[in-house]
Structure 1
């Protein structure tokens, strides 16, 4: 146990609290108990599975720990992780560092570090040992020196200022100083891990050309003599850029007496050069303007803190042996024992094959030709252990299958004629889940697990037909040869005028896919015919729709018979019967109202045309005519099937009699009262005769046209005397019926 003086321990604990770590009375400890290198062959391996963390409780979100690959090979080495809740992960590909941050306990961080794993992405990996440093996030640890390093970004800082600032920094009780680089591995680590672009602890300010480490445990140690053509002193390490150091004098008078790391394009990788104390102060955007400084911790105190741990992985040139499944038989049909050829791709490893199923056995399991035996059909798993030429062990699981060998047979009678639908069933034996694939005319028709029966529609075409079957029981396959199918003649029936109001005459046409020898039609009304394309009339005397199922039986030239039945192919609708009566039978214009009585049968719709441009859809209408005449009254009736019937009857609105005036006066003020004229609508001029008699029976006026009336004058042109006169009229009405009327009229003046 490290003996820490009380005063120093107090300062140390105060400092740790300021860095985001909460400590009890013990110093943090990071320890990896695995000291032996872990072998990496091809599968990822954990870096520090047995890492131990004590007294590390991080209470700041930006604090944490990291795992760094010290001798990192970019584009090869990678670190992965199995995440722990509440922690954040960041893989820095340029540095080869996995950073883990977040507030958590040491137990959580211990779990997180233990789940970090290494893998190599290169197909041509760099073999050898990889060194890993596990440390806190705020500094980088180099196992080679057992020191910690930080890069402090501070643009424009002088070398002398950086030296003072570095010496004022501590890390868990370790005194800081500008980095002194004694080894190539240290130089590479600083350059790649901590953005170490800035001042390091060397100068020749005391004596030009005498480069010494001016800080840290090596303070005063000379490591270089001269300028760019100089030499190292005492075998010490140096890595000057090409043409450096050159000890140039700057425009403001200072010489280049202080060392820093170079990042200018074209410079020697990871090299140093000399600058003045201010750097290139006239070019703040240039590559030689100070960006910061590198601080190193360790070597000044007799204090070894376990603030980091180291792990090692040996990367071997190894590739997992892979079986060549294009050459290995893993499926065996109809047997429960087989010898297997274990053929590998591009390798010849040592092997061991062992069963994972207690009922399976392996003979000669250490050879490339083991014999496997199983008790039943099924899938069996085996563990295949291999060791390659790099002595890398691998373990894989392989599967071998042993299954029944099925036979593709099904129930097809080669002598039977089949109809449109062909029912087929598998008649072989199977043991396990099986896939059936049915073929029709050399093309796959249907496929499925357990599809051991099927219905095939044979179609209408005039073609040869065949069926076949492939049976796949867990990869064990058998396929039948195509078998011919004899098909019944296919019947196609077309019909013109298949539905309508009774009676309908339908025209039938029959076609078959193969030449037919005989036809037999059944019209389902007691009538049959042997014509190929018959014409038949269907009647429906009922009041409801009537359907007829039509069947046709055809026998082809091969003797295959088929019957097609077309349900309700013909539909015959009932037709209503129109009828009506009217009252009175003789209608006079003086009372022209007619009552119609509907006597139609099986009708639900009515349309009346009264012959005078008036219509109605009433069932039993009453109609009043406005004029005499002969009218054709029609009644059209219909039903819900749009079937109709019409009846037409004639009725007359007859003339009754004339109603003549009883008095007139030639000198009356109204013109119509100045003559005696007998006329009316419906009276014809043909056969018209009007005679006026005086009281002695003498004819005083006669007219043969109803247009000519008596104006009161006699034949001599003089007015007849006032008095009562008798008139007699004969005329024909518009129907040609003769009428006779007589009466008296009084002539006044």
Structure 2
């Protein structure tokens, strides 16, 4: 009994060990998904997403679910995947936001047979209602709900975790694995990746970007891109590679958080651009800016490929190149097109219209008299609904020369110009030459010494104007000639300007005036000088020839200023005279005349043998600045008088005295005892030799004179008077 029991226990232990070893030694391998298909899509016709498909599993015959997603080129609200045919064991559900079709078992508590999956996937079709279809779309097929992007060979998963912080999301993401791949907060380094993980994700949340280390320097701080800078600055910053910030982001909004916003987040889809980013503080924001979760990315450069996913694609065949044509006035033309694949079809309208034959890469038009547009499209497998590309045949009318501008030069290069109704202008040196000298509207000739004729024609795509038009560059090397009216002028200080004049010009010239070698305004034959100096003038002909410069000197001058101090008067003598004793009466050059403004002037300011009485000295500026007058009186004091009533020399008076010329006049007569006998009034006719009405005897009497004339000259004189009675 004991032995038997011992044997039994030994057998049971051995069986348990072997069974445990068997079961634990079996590893559940994931299915292998293989998909084929890179097909041309015929617009308007649904297309199967695969041409061949298989899913195998060495240790299973079923899967829980299967997912097909439009992973690139997806157009939300237009594109759709649909399971066609009858598959009673499979339920299909389309997610318009993610662009994903999910297949699950229709029988509760069971999985889908792999054979049913194979047949179903082969029956899934793509269709679209978009009028502007992206040229290529990629489909990812996988056994798991994580989104698969073929271009990166990475998987992406949104994890819902409302109000999670960025720091906690980073830890949580790095704690996740996917079929052996390490998870991390997503780093979205291309537009395709950002669109896929952002726009087509099932929710919005944290991603792996931060500027916590250096404000304004945004880096990826998770996964294999750790340390890569993707943005510098704030709203108006720039990216060295790729970034997908939302409108007015990143803004480092401090609001209730004085530390600012340092972590990247996919914005709620209702704000701005779907799938774009904003910056938030570690705790997230409020309302629509509360973090809903985070996006995990699985994949590094060292990861082995996972066979749980495969991809296929469709594309729209394209017209890749076209050749248009031009015709002059009328004729036929050959246009051409090339396509990425297929046969090229030709039409006369962008939509509808008539198909033109024959098909092929080139098409020859009928005779055209006006421009016409044709349309090329490629046909693959009989599809005639692909986009059409316009190719124009331009029928040009012969252009005409509409205007010309010729040139007249003295020598050197001429500038000629022309305009045309259309096209470009070619310049030639003869009516028949074939090689143009120049092409363009304005032609600067080479230096020429004689009048030269050029010929122009308009050319638009080799449609040439009917005849060539002459354009003349005229050379006239005649040097301008002219004279100066004067080569010296005087500028009077009280007049302000003087007119400098040229004369005897041989043609209609323009003039260049300079003062002290600096050009001054004015281009006419005369110019006003307002200050003294050295002036020059030269003439320029219509051809541009220049004369030699001629010099004009403008000097200052002025009317004379003369006072009592400037003259010396000799009077009451046998030879009365006036002499200008100051050589500096002003800045002018002066000459003198006595008592005759329009008489003869002389350079010397000395006049003698002047009679007693009022006189005027005229001082003339030889430079025509005017005449200054100096009025003066020559006085003579008689030595005697004979008051005998014969009408001659009956009274004593000062010869040359005029009361109007003197502001002060005191004339007194005394006897030898100093008795005042008579004092003349300004209106007096003189002293008649009486004192208090009595006739005084012959004797010697005395006079005393104090005078001040209108010039301020003072005269004080005393002397004797002989009174003689006969």
Give the shorter-chain TM-score range.
0.3 to 0.5
TM-score (norm 2): 0.39
TM-score of the aligned structures, taking structure 1 as reference length: 0.38
Higher Cα Rg, which structure = 1
